[in-house]
Homo-oligomer: A and B are copies of this chain.
Amino acid sequence: MPVLRVALAQTNPVLGDIDGNCSAVLRWSRKAADQGASLVAFPELAVTGGPLRDLGSQPAFAAASAAGLTRLAADLAAEGLGKVSVVVGYLEGSDSTQRADGSGCAAHNAVALLRDGHVVGRSFKHRLPHHGVFDEVRNFLPGNSLMVACVDGTDVALAVGEDIHAPAVFAEAGAGLVLQVCAAPYHVGGHHGRMTALARLARAAGTPVASVNAVGGQDELVFHGGSSIVAADGSQLATAAHFVEDLLVAELDLPAAGDPAAGTRRIALPAPKIVDPPPQPIPVPRHPPAEPGEVWQALVTGTRDYARKNGFASAVVALSGGIDSTVVAVIAADALGPENVLGISMPSVFSSDHSMFDAEELGQRVGLDFRVVPIQPVVDSVAALLPVDGVALENVQARARGMLLMAVSNQEGRLALNTGNKTEYSCGHNTLYGDQVGGYAPLKDVPKTLVWALARWRNAQAYACDTPAPVPERTITKEPSPELQPGQVDSQLLPAPYEVLDRILARYVEDQLSRDELVADGFDADVVDCVIEMVERGEFKRQQAPPGPKISVRAFGMDRRMPITNRFVVHGHSASYFPAPTVTAVNHT
Which residues does A use to contact B, with CB under 8 Å? Answer: 14-20, 51-55, 58-61, 63-64, 67-68, 97-104, 106, 128-132, 135, 137-138, 141-142, 218-219, 271-278, 281-284, 305-306, 309-313, 373-374, 377-378, 380-382, 384-389, 391-392, 395-396, 399-400, 402-404, 406-411, 413, 415-416, 432-433, 437, 439, 511-512, 514-516, 540, 543-547, 553-554, 558, 560-570, 574-575, 577-578, 580-589
Contact = CB atoms under 8 A, between A and B. Distances in A.
Contacts of A373: 385-386
Nearest to A282: B102
Given A137-B137, A566-B15, A281 B413 contact: no
A392 B411 contact: yes
Nearest to A99: B131
> Main SS of the interface on chain A?
loop
Given A382-B407, A410-B589, A588-B416, A98 B281 contact: yes
Contacts of A411: 386-389, 392
Contacts of A97: 275, 277
Closest 3 pairs between A and B when the two form their complex, measured CB to CB? A16-B568, A64-B575, A311-B581
B386 A311 contact: no
A274 B273 contact: yes
7 contacts: A55-B562, A60-B570, A103-B131, A103-B511, A103-B512, A392-B407, A409-B588
B219 A564 contact: yes
A59 B514 contact: yes
B407 A386 contact: yes
Contact of A310 (B20, B61, B564): B564
A256 to B, nearest CB: 36
B512 A104 contact: yes
A284 B547 contact: no
Given A130-B137, A399-B403, A17 B99 contact: no
Contacts of A312: 583, 586
A310 B14 CA distance: 40
Contacts of A283: 102
A411 B385 CA distance: 13
B439 A55 contact: no
B410 A385 contact: no
Contacts of A18: 568, 575, 577
Contacts of A581: 310-311
B586 A277 contact: no
A283 B64 CA distance: 28
Given A377-B384, A575-B67, A137 B568 contact: no
B277 A274 contact: no
B130 A138 contact: yes
Given A381-B378, A565-B306, A433 B392 contact: no
A100 B279 CA distance: 10
A288 to B, nearest CB: 14
B433 A408 contact: no
